Amino acid sequence: MSASVSFVESVQFLQRGFGSRLCRGVGCRRRSSGRSTPDLRLPFERMLASETRVRPRIAVVVQRQYVAAAAPAIDPRRPTRQSRTSEPQRQQQSFEGFGTGTVSRPVGRTSAGVIISVIVVSAALGTAGYFGVQRFLKQREQLIVEFGEEMVQALQFVERRSADDIPDEDRLRKELTHVTRVYSAKAPLWGQKRRMYSSFLYTLIRNVKLTVGGIMAARIAQQMLGVSERTAEQVMNALTEERLASAPSLLSKLLFLSERLGMNSKSLRIRDKLSFSAEAVRSLQQNLCESCYRDVIEERISRLKEARGEQTLTAAGLPGPGQDAELERFRRRLTRLSLDIELARDMLQSNNIPKGYELLGLGERDARTIIENFIADKERAVDATARDIEARERSIMARQRESAAEASGSGGAKPATHRFECQRCGYTLFPAAGREWKFYGDDFKCPQCGAPKSDFRDTSEQS
């Protein structure tokens, strides 16, 4: 379409909009005499036949005035009864801006609109993708932590239900395999087996006491997750550097676990993070090993007690003066310790050593030594408990005597002093009444022979 409106197009528009009378008035023929006579042909046909005719300027001005007056009534962008043409023709016949001498261009999408649409869509997709990725990563971290907790819970479940000294390996493997399959099938954990193994080790060391079952579970988890020995060493080094550097007790447990799993100590950096000497570290590892096997012994003794059907003793069934809560607690402890010693000695005599020392890197002789130390510790605890019981009984008897003296009144006046005589050497002590706690305490010993307080007898009432 040209920049200016041709005369033929103007006549076509006026003929279509205002009828043929306007066209007849415009297209008239002049004779040489100056008088105008009407042309028999239609002006529209005549103008089409002679395209190169000079266009009258006045007629164009009149047409523009009529177009400007009819513009509110005729909308060239909407189809009318007179303009049932195709879309290209309607765009060509659009006369927006006709009064300015220019023809409007067809309405359509511009390059700027397309660019703006692309920018808006890209920004929306980028924002949604960013928040989607953040949510995905957060869900992955949460699932990794939950995996470690579920594995430890499965281990504790098997240990509680075990009927042997150590957990059943087949049942433990079955429970851990089930947990691993459930979490490995989740999309956020695809390809995250190394981090899953790291989460399990960290939860095992941090939340529960290290046992023989824990060592078995760590070995089974390493096999199920397909973690090689080299990768396991890298995981332990990462835990040492990132999460356990400020916790020496947890580092000691991790070192103990790595040695029981057969890791190469030269490639591990756990010892470098411990601020103790080599001798102190060796002693800590030995204590951890002995503690793990003591737990196995305690488990064996507990199951033997349940098999015997031992009944809890009450204060009414125990000899001694009066009913006292603290005295009852001491007597319960004494009975429990005595039974533990008896069952532990039966283990040594029957050569029925509890299992699990092989996993701890011990031999049978080392296991027997630990049982003997266990018995010796229990015997020392029995002696201390017996002294507590004796002191408590004397305290109760003293209170009973004071109560009886107060009840008797003046007939039973209390002596001004007490007389305590040693049954070994005859040494005699005369503390003032009411001051025994200062000069004759529970830790009193004879100044001559060193006899304990239990070897002294109160002879003031006899005299």
Q: pLDDT tens digits, the chain, 463 residues: what are they?
A: 444 455 556 556 555 554 444 444 444 444 444 454 555 555 555 555 554 444 444 444 444 444 455 445 445 555 545 445 555 555 555 544 444 444 444 444 457 778 888 888 888 888 888 898 899 899 999 999 999 999 999 999 999 888 888 899 999 999 999 999 999 998 888 889 999 999 999 999 999 999 999 999 999 999 999 999 999 999 999 999 999 888 888 999 999 999 999 888 888 999 888 888 889 999 999 999 999 999 999 999 988 888 877 544 444 444 444 457 888 888 889 999 999 999 999 999 988 899 889 989 899 999 999 999 999 999 999 999 999 888 888 888 887 777 777 766 544 444 556 677 888 777 777 766 655 655 566 777 787 787 887 777 777 655 4
Task: Clarify whether residues 205 and 326 are in a common domain.
Answer: no
Task: Clarify whether residues 323 and 403 are in a common domain.
Answer: yes
- CA-CA distance, 270 to 201, in Å (whole number)? 14
Task: Clarify whether residues 262 and 136 are in a common domain.
Answer: yes
Copy the structure tokens of residue 184: 């490995």
- CA-CA distance, 315 to 160, in Å (whole number)? 31
Q: What is the CATH number of the domain that holds 426?
A: 2.20.28.10
364 in a structural domain: yes
Task: Clarify whether residues 318 and 406 are in a common domain.
Answer: yes
Task: Clarify whether residues 92 and 13 are in a common domain.
Answer: yes
Among 425, 396, 415, smallest CA distance to 459 is for 415
112 in a structural domain: no
With beta carbons less than 8 A apart as the criterion, state whether 164 and 352 touch.
no
> Whole-prediction pTM value?
0.60
Q: What is the pLDDT of residue 241?
A: 92
Task: Clarify whether residues 303 and 284 are in a common domain.
Answer: no
Task: Clarify whether residues 143 and 265 are in a common domain.
Answer: yes
The total number of structural domains in the chain stands at 4
Q: What is the pLDDT of residue 93?
A: 53
Q: What is the pLDDT of residue 6?
A: 58
With beta carbons less than 8 A apart as the criterion, state whether 310 and 304 touch.
no
Question: How far from 14 is each of 7, 233, 304, 388, 443, CA to CA, in Å?
Answer: 11, 94, 117, 126, 131
Task: Clarify whether residues 91 and 137 are in a common domain.
Answer: no
107 in a structural domain: no
Residue range(s) defining the domain that contains residue 134: 118-292
1 in a structural domain: no
Burial class (CB in 10 A: 0-12, 13-18, 19+), 214: buried
Strands 29-30 vs 36-37: parallel, antiparallel or unpaired: antiparallel
For residue 13, how many other CB atoms are within 10 A of its CB?
Answer: 21
Task: Clarify whether residues 48 and 83 are in a common domain.
Answer: yes
Among 309, 305, 334, smallest CA distance to 320 is for 334
322 in a structural domain: yes
Residue after which a domain boundary falls, among 373, 396, 412: 412
- CA-CA distance, 267 to 248, in Å (whole number)? 19
Residue after which a domain boundary falls, among 292, 320, 335: 292
- CA-CA distance, 186 to 145, in Å (whole number)? 14
246 in a structural domain: yes
Question: How far from 173 is each of 75, 147, 213, 224, 296, CA to CA, in Å?
Answer: 84, 15, 11, 9, 20
Residue after which a domain boundary falls, among 412, 427, 453: 412
Task: Clarify whether residues 134 and 271 are in a common domain.
Answer: yes
Q: What is the pLDDT of residue 22?
A: 43
273 in a structural domain: yes
Task: Clarify whether residues 209 and 238 are in a common domain.
Answer: yes
109 in a structural domain: no
Q: What is the CA radius of gyration of the chain?
A: 53
Task: Clarify whether residues 338 and 275 are in a common domain.
Answer: no
